[in-house]
Chains A and B, each alone.
Chain A
Amino acid sequence: MTAGLAIRVGNVEAVCRPSGALWVESARALIVADLHFEKASAYAARGQMLPPYDTRETLARLEAETRATEPSLLIFLGDSFHDASAEDRLPPDEARRIGALAVGRRLVWIVGNHDEEGPRRLPGESLPSFDLAGLRLVHEPRPGAEPGEIAGHLHPCAKVRGPGGTVRRRCFVTDGERLVLPAFGALAGGLNIRDEAFRPLFSRRPLAGVLGRGRVHPVAWASLSDD
């Protein structure tokens, strides 16, 4: 359980994991954001035949996380499905594997703008938000000071220039008061955290937890580049 970057949000200790999931030990809760299941098939329906393997890839990563952490609570922070009919397009095997994630634990689907209704046939409860050990879990971060808020939606990414060239990776972003999670979905794109959209969220310059190989690198605002 040591892999990752230990942080405090509000007054709660949590670990940013290299996979992009957040682990809250005190509640044995694993939190993942923006899985965008069946994004590829949504594009295929409009003529761009992206590989139909994104759901199983995302699931494989998620299963690795649940094996590693054995959470009693698994929380999806919204946009778990790319669109309203994504659940219907799930291949049977993938639907079964999602169902299996609920065995022996509680599953909470916080709804997002891509999946306003939440899943209809899969196990778990669909909620607009969820309170966890003093943290408030929502899909879309609210502007202004929201101490203790954990959100997704923005797909944060950090661009860092350095001696090994320029890298652009998914990242966590936090000012110690609130936290935005990176997207977990295999084909989910990213938004640079220096974008306007992040500005109303933080009262001071936040820290990026950049996903690396088996590590999460804390990177200060001053080291980040615009796109």
Chain B
Amino acid sequence: MDGSAPSLLPPRFADWFVQRGWAPRAHQLAMVEKGREGRHALLIAPTGGGKTLAGFLPSLIDLSTRPPANAPRGIHTLYISPLKALAVDVERNLMAPIAQMGLKVTAESRTGDTGISRRQRQRVKPPDILLTTPEQLALFCAWEGARLYFEDLACVIIDEVHAIWPSKRGDLLALDMARLLTFAPNHRRVGLSATVEDPDVIRRWLSPGGAAEVDLVRGSGGAAPVVDVLLSEGQVPWVGHTAHHAMPEVYDAIRRARTALVFVNTRFQAEFAFQELWRLNDDGLPIALHHGSLSAEQRRKVEAAMARGQLRAVVCTSTLDLGIDWGDVDLVIQLASPKGASRMVQRIGRANHRLDEPSQALFVPANRFEMLECQAAREAIAENALDSDPPHQGALDVLAQHIMGCACSEPFDLVTLYEEVRTAGPYCELSWEDYEQVVDFVATGGYALRVYDRFARIVRRPDGQWVARNAETILRHRLNVGAIVSPAMLSVRIAGRRGTAGRKIGEVEEGYLDVLETGDTFVFAGQVWRLVAVSGMDVLVSPAPGEDAKMPSWGGSKFALSTFLASKVRAMMSDVHHWQVLPGDVREWLELQRDRSAIPDTDEMLLETFPHGKRFFLVAYPFEGRLAHTTLCMLLTRRLDRVGVGPIGFVCNDYALAVWSVRDMSGLDMADLFAEDMLGDDLETWLAESLMMKASFKACALIAGLIERRFPGAEKSSRQITFSTDLVYDVLRRHQPDHLLLRCARHDAARGLVDVERLGQMLARIRGKIRHVTLDHLSPFSVAVIAEIGRQRAPGEGAGEMTLESAEALIAEASA
């Protein structure tokens, strides 16, 4: 504690710290000082540093020292969390200091689950502190009383800001924060963030006018985490994603720990690891499972048992990346590839929320490439070098939703709203032309053919102000607020007699079980089931205990290997001296690759051609992640087709890609094949036809309000929406290819789904640096990607036709 503490903390607060046996931390006092000075502030501190309290202290002090008012007052502090559960949890944690200090402060949460009577009361009699989510704030801002409701606002706190800002939810939140600043021009913004590489990006996002307006407060780093990589001497397999070989060692680690979190990258991996751990669980340790496909009730049960300290381990996916603090976790295990250093630091931060003790983590590589990746991640964490998201321009579909919301709340002036929107970080460079296009879209759909003027959703009054058309338009907008487009969920239910739907055991995303046929067995919620039927929105299953479950589509993770980590892996691979950190079997594997093929230099891309079976293979190792590799393969096969080698298929993983063909590819000009001009017309043509574009168009259409998720009286099933948005996409593409939503969809697909930017950087990086090795059989490195053949679905343009042709072939076969 420094000397200024007594003057910063009122006696009641200073006494409270003493009574608890605590000393206020330096960053908590710094935040109090920022509050007193009325400065915007971003607090960056590891988990467990009393970050939430640091965020609320200035508000609690302000609220406890303000003079009594004659009239009822509005909201003083608005707390926004990306998770509903977090808002509720923070409410609970905030009540303790308020009660212990005897403060006359009210704090209440409001989420989608809050009951109607509480919501109505909150409108009439606002609490001093309201804890809510970005979606609820968007609804508030679309309400006609919004301006009055927020006029007393003194502070907005954004929790887990590192997780929220890079997404469309972050765009929507930034726009609503800009709105709040119009309602209450003197309030402060406070961001609470986990450790990030570049705080300035978040400062700019948080600020109404540039990073300099937001002061940075850093919590002390705490003890450096202790990260071990499981070496499984002599056992790390060449291929695979499951880390099957390491389960006994993982189980041992769990047994030695008090409580362990076992993170995996996919739900299937979670189910698999859970099964395997229980197979080994001779001690009957309470080991639980937590992932996004389990029913909310089941997840809550696991969380509650965890909070009570009743569990020894939870196998989980990113569902537990954020959220409630569990002080008892003393070990974090990452099963299979960590993918990025920042996410790992945040996951590791879930262990030991006491700053003076180091967090313990164990990385478990599932194959030899992952061994390199785990070592690279470990070194990055030790050097405190993290990967980061680059800043982005705010999405225009989100802006469309926001403008409609503004019109639902009160009449707006076109120019005034433009100025307000530009104070939102992601929209500070929004051009007037784009803004006008968005407004036109909101009004009449933004079509060159002007036939919808009489149906406009927002209309210009004679005084020049824009308003929503009528009460029905407003109601429909409010039912469709939000920037999260989640796939429709199917209920997994136990099949009753005669095919009726029985008890619900969880939910799965539409498409999750697409690879399964009726009669197949699979693991879900930790048990083996047989798929009986898919009926409407229900997946009917029957228990199949003891059966060997089919494990469909391991795939990798939905997270791409970060550029930063990929470059570290390449560097480690090319540096023979660095191999010493690796176990003997992995070193031998690298030596074998060096002797049989080649180890590329750091700045080179290795490319191998060889015959295998009856085909010719081209295998390249760009290390740019599955998404960028898939896009690259789509484009390469087009070129290979044009040069006449007859490409047949391809597969990708995070490290490599393999294309096979009828004719030998070793004589091709590889520099030409990988030339950057492939990102021109070929990319555009392929992208326009791709399922990815249709998926991202659907998301944009829902967010922008072209298609409604919900409308009064009827809940549309997502399948109907899918179908009609694809039709809308096709019609629009043919008749107005420059339409705003097609631009949005293309932008999103290029950024998120096909990683065009990363591909472009890669092609530039390897220009003149392709190390082509011609072999007479496959190389040690290539085994991992070749093993994927047959496990992945054949992608590609003709994929749909292929399905139809193979169904047709069944008829021919049956009638032959």
Contact = CB atoms under 8 A, between A and B. Distances in A.
Nearest to B717: A227
A24 to B, nearest CB: 24
A217 interface: yes
A217 B736 CA distance: 31
Interface in B776-816: 793-796, 798-808, 810-811, 814
B719 A227 contact: yes
A170 B732 CA distance: 19
Interface stretch (B38-46, B50-58, B723-731): B723-731
A163 B806 contact: yes
B445 A220 contact: no
Given A50-B728, A51-B728, A53-B732, A166 B514 contact: yes
Contact of B808 (A56, A163, A218): A218
B447 A52 contact: yes
Given A219-B808, A220-B810, A226-B534, A161 B732 contact: no
A226 B518 CA distance: 11
Contacts of A161: 514, 517, 803
Contact of B445 (A50, A91, A218, A219): A50
A57 B735 CA distance: 8
A51 B732 contact: yes
Interface string A185-200: 0111110000000000
B100 to A, nearest CB: 52
Contacts of B807: 160, 162, 210, 217, 219-220, 223
A187 B455 contact: no
Contacts, number: 141
A218 B511 CA distance: 25
Contacts of A203: none
Given A53-B731, A53-B736, A167 B811 contact: no
Interface centre among B449, B535, B731, B736 (most CB of A within 10 A): B731
A160 B511 CA distance: 13
Interface string B446-464: 1101011001010000000
Interface residues of A, number: 42
Interface in A151-201: 157, 160-169, 186-190
B578 interface: no
Contact of B452 (A49, A168, A225): A49
B735 A219 contact: no
A225 to B, nearest CB: 8
A54 B729 CA distance: 11
A225 B514 CA distance: 10
Interface in A28-80: 41, 44-45, 47-54, 56-57
Contacts of A57: 731, 734-735
Nearest to B804: A217
Nearest to B511: A166
B735 A53 contact: yes
Nearest to B808: A217
Nearest to B452: A44
A218 B811 CA distance: 8
Contact of A190 (B451, B476, B723, B805): B723
Contacts of B720: 189
Given A162-B806, A165-B800, A186 B731 contact: yes
Contact of A187 (B724, B739, B800, B802): B724
Nearest to A58: B731
Contacts of B736: 51, 53
B651 to A, nearest CB: 14
A221 B702 CA distance: 34
Contacts of B798: 164
A91 to B, nearest CB: 7
B542 interface: no
B533 interface: yes
Interface string A211-224: 01100011110110
Contacts of A91: 449, 451
Nearest to A208: B807
Nearest to B732: A51
A192 to B, nearest CB: 9
Contacts of B517: 161
Contacts of B103: none
Interface string B501-535: 00000000001001001000000000000000111
A188 B535 CA distance: 23
Contacts of A210: 804, 807
A187 B803 contact: no
A105 B605 CA distance: 65
B803 A166 contact: yes
Given A210-B807, A217-B804, 4 more contacts: A44-B452, A57-B731, A57-B735, A164-B794
23 contacts: A49-B447, A51-B447, A52-B447, A52-B451, A52-B452, A53-B449, A53-B734, A57-B731, A160-B807, A161-B803, A162-B802, A162-B806, A163-B802, A163-B803, A165-B800, A167-B803, A168-B723, A186-B731, A187-B731, A189-B724, A219-B804, A226-B534, A227-B719
Of all A-B residue pairs in the complex, the 9 with the closest CB atoms, nearest first, are A49-B445, A162-B803, A164-B799, A164-B802, A53-B735, A164-B803, A223-B807, A167-B800, A217-B804
